[in-house]
Structure 1
């Protein structure tokens, strides 16, 4: 199964573009900071990750304030067939400040 949930903040955002079929696509960069325990030892984890959202979710992502933690759900895929870089494809997002 390819499913990722990540609490992160949007730190960069590009203008919405449209596919030839007219589907809106929003691209951004997410930033994540946390502490996890690995082998009994606390470890600081910081990462940035390129992400995209298509369709209705792209509009929701565009409405998100930058720098505010959100819960993003989706999957990882290569940027294109021969790429080595992974991109987080967002399928759901949730404002952590709202119940």
Structure 2
């Protein structure tokens, strides 16, 4: 199963674009910081993740103010250039 739930802050939102099929799309950059337990020890983790959303979600996210904290659900896939991963956002809500 490929499912990711992530609480993150939106640190970059690109201009809304449209796919060749006419579907709205927006690229974002998300930042996450939290404390997790690993082998019984508390560890601080942080990450910056490229993300993309399509359709009505893309239209809504394209209007977000930077540094907005949200909870995202979606899946990971390899980036088109095969360098890194991209988080495909399927749903989101306020944290």
- Tell whether the structures are fold-level matches, with TM greater than 0.5: yes
Deviation at 1:65, TM superposition (A): 2.5
Q: Residues of 1 paired with 2:27 and 2:12: CA distance?
A: 9
Asked if structure 2 preserves the Cα contact closer than 8 Å seen for 1:61 and 1:93, the reply is no
Q: Which residue of 2 aligns with 1:68?
A: 68
Q: Which residue of 2 aligns with 1:94?
A: 93
Asked if structure 2 preserves the Cα contact closer than 8 Å seen for 1:5 and 1:72, the reply is yes
Residue 45 (1) aligns with residue 27 (2): no
Q: Which blocks of at least 5 consecutive residues in structure 2 are unaligned?
A: none
RMSD: 1.1
Deviation at 1:62, TM superposition (A): 1.8
Secondary structure of the residue aligned to 2:2 is: coil
Q: Which residue of 2 aligns with 1:25?
A: 25
Asked if structure 2 preserves the Cα contact closer than 8 Å seen for 1:79 and 1:87, the reply is yes
Deviation at 1:59, TM superposition (A): 1.3
| TM-score, normalization by structure 2 | 0.94
Aligned residue pairs total: 95
Write out the 4+ residue segments of structure 1 that deviate beyond 6 Å after TM superposition: none
CA-to-aligned-CA distance 1:43-98 (integer Å, 9 cap, x gap) = 00010000000111101212332212100100001112x614110000101012xx
Q: Which residue of 2 aligns with 1:59?
A: 59
Q: Which residue of 1 aligns with 2:34?
A: 34
Q: Which blocks of at least 5 consecutive residues in structure 1 are unaligned?
A: none
